[in-house]
Chains A and B, each alone.
Chain A
Amino acid sequence: MADRRSELDLPKAKRAKLAESDPASNPYLAHMYEEDVGYGNGYGSRNGNKNGRFEQTGLSNFQRHASTAAQAHTAEDGPGNPFNNVPLSNQYFNILKTRRDLPVHKQRQEFLDMFQKSQILVFVGETGSGKTTQIPQFVLFDDLPHFNNKLVACTQPRRVAAMSVAQRVANEMDVKLGEEVGYSIRFEDVTGPKTVLKYMTDGMLLREAMHDHNLTRYSCIILDEAHERTLATDILMGLLKEVALRRPDLKIVIMSATLDAQKFQRYFNDAPLLAVPGRTHPVEIFYTPEPERDYVEAALRTVLQIHATEPEGDILLFLTGEEEIEDACRKITLEADEMIREADAGPLKVYPLYGTLPPHQQQKIFEPAPPPARKGGRPGRKVIVGTNIAETSLTIDGIVYVVDPGFSKQKVYNPRIRVESLLVSPISKASAQQRAGRAGRTRPGKCFRLYTEAAFKKELIEQTHPEILRSNLANTVLELKKLGIDDLVHFDLMDPPAPETLMRALEELNYLACLDDDGDLTTLGKLASEFPLDPALAVMLISSPEFYCSNEILSLTALLSVPQIFVRPASAKKRADEMKDLFAHPDGDHLTMLNVYHAFKSQAATSDPKKWCHEHFLSLRALQSADNVRSQLKRIMEKSELELVSTDFNDKNYYTNIRRALVAGFFMQVAKKDPTGKTYKTVKDDQSVLLHPSTVLGVDSDWVLYNEFVLTTKNYVRSVTSVKPEWLLDIAPTYYDLSTFKAGEIRSALQKTMDKVKRKQATKRTR
Chain B
Amino acid sequence: MSDDDEYEIPLQDQRVFGSGIKRRRVKFVPSTSGATSSVTSSTTPANSISDMYLRLVLPEGSEDDASIGNANFMVEHNKGEEISVSTCEICNLPLSSPPSAKSTTLRDGVADTGLSTSVPVSTTNPHEASFAHQVCLQHSHPPSHVDRNRKGLAYLSSYGWNPDSRFGLGASGQGIQNPIKVKPKDDKMGIGVVLPPESERRKTEKPTRLDAGKIKKLDEKDRKRTERLRQTFYQNEDVERYLGGG
A423's partner among B158, B182, B192, B194 (CB-CB below 8 A) is: B182
Q: How far is the CB of A243 from chain B (nearest CB, A)?
A: 16
Interface residues of B toward A: which range? 35 or more
Contact of A451 among B150, B170, B186, B192 (CB under 8 A): B192
Q: Inside 8 A of A711's CB, which chain B residues have their CB?
A: 184
Restricting to B154-206, which residues have a CB under 8 Å from any CB of A?
155-156, 158-161, 163, 168-171, 174-186, 188-194
B143 within 8 A of A: no
Q: Is the CB of A503 within 8 A of B156?
A: yes
Measured CA separation A676–B152 after assembly (Å): 35
**Which of B170, B175, B178, B192 counts the most chain A CB atoms within 10 A?**
B192
Please determine whether B184 and A506 come into contact, CB atoms closer than 8 angstroms: no
Give A509 to B175 CA distance when docked, in angstroms.
22
Contact B190 A499 (CB under 8 A): no
Which of A426, A486, A495, A712 has a CB less than 8 Å from the CB of B175? A495
Whether the Cβ atoms of A505 and B190 lie closer than 8 Å is: no
Shortest beta-carbon distance from B123 to chain A in Å: 50
Query: B193 and A291: CB pair below 8 A?
Result: yes
Q: How far is the CB of B160 from chain A (nearest CB, A)?
A: 6
Are A500 and B178 CB-contacts (below 8 A) given A423-B184, A424-B185, A712-B184? yes
Interface-central residue, A405, A486, A492, A502, by most chain B CB under 10 Å: A502
> A506 to chain B: which residues have CB within 8 Å?
151-152, 155-156
Compute how far the CA of A298 lies from the CA of B189 in the bound complex, rounded to whole angstroms: 10
Chain B contacts of A450 at CB under 8 A? 190-191
Across-interface contacts of A298 in B (CB, < 8 A): 190
Check A270 for interface membership: any CB of B closer than 8 A: no
Given the known inter-chain contacts A505-B152, A713-B186, please indicate yes or no for A487 contacting B159, CB distance below 8 A: yes
- Give, as a whole number of angstroms, the nearest-CB distance from B199 to chain A: 20
Q: A416-B10, A499-B161, A519-B155 are in contact. Are A293 and B189 (CB under 8 A)?
A: yes
Complex contacts, B91 vs chain A, CB 8 Å: none
Q: Is A296 an interface residue (CB 8 A)?
A: yes
Which residue of chain A lies nearest to B186 when distances are taken between CB atoms in the complex? A713
Known A487-B159, A492-B170, A493-B170; contact A501-B179, beta-carbon cutoff 8 A:
yes
Which residues of chain A come closer than 8 Å to B193, judged between CB atoms?
A: 291-293
The interface residues of chain B lying within 8 Å CB-to-CB of A507 are 150-152
- Least CB distance from A409 to B in Å reads 10
The answer to whether A498 and B177 touch (CB under 8 A), given A492-B170, A507-B151, A712-B184, is: yes
Q: Are A410 and B182 in contact (CB under 8 A)?
A: yes
Give chain A residues whose Cβ lies under 8 Å from the Cβ of B171. Answer: 490-492
Instruction: Report chain B residues within 8 Å CB of A42.
Output: none
Beta-carbon contacts under 8 Å, A285-324 to B: 288, 291-298
Which A residues touch B175, using CB under 8 A? 493, 495-499
13 additional A-B residue pairs with CB within 8 Å, beyond A489-B169, A498-B178, A503-B146? A288-B190, A291-B189, A293-B189, A412-B180, A416-B179, A425-B183, A426-B191, A455-B192, A469-B176, A503-B152, A505-B152, A519-B151, A686-B12
Residues in chain B within 8 A of chain A (CB atoms) = 10, 12, 146, 150-153, 155-156, 158-161, 163, 168-171, 174-186, 188-194
Q: Return the 8 tightest CB-CB contacts between A and B, nearest first.
A: A503-B152, A496-B175, A455-B192, A292-B190, A496-B170, A496-B169, A291-B192, A489-B159
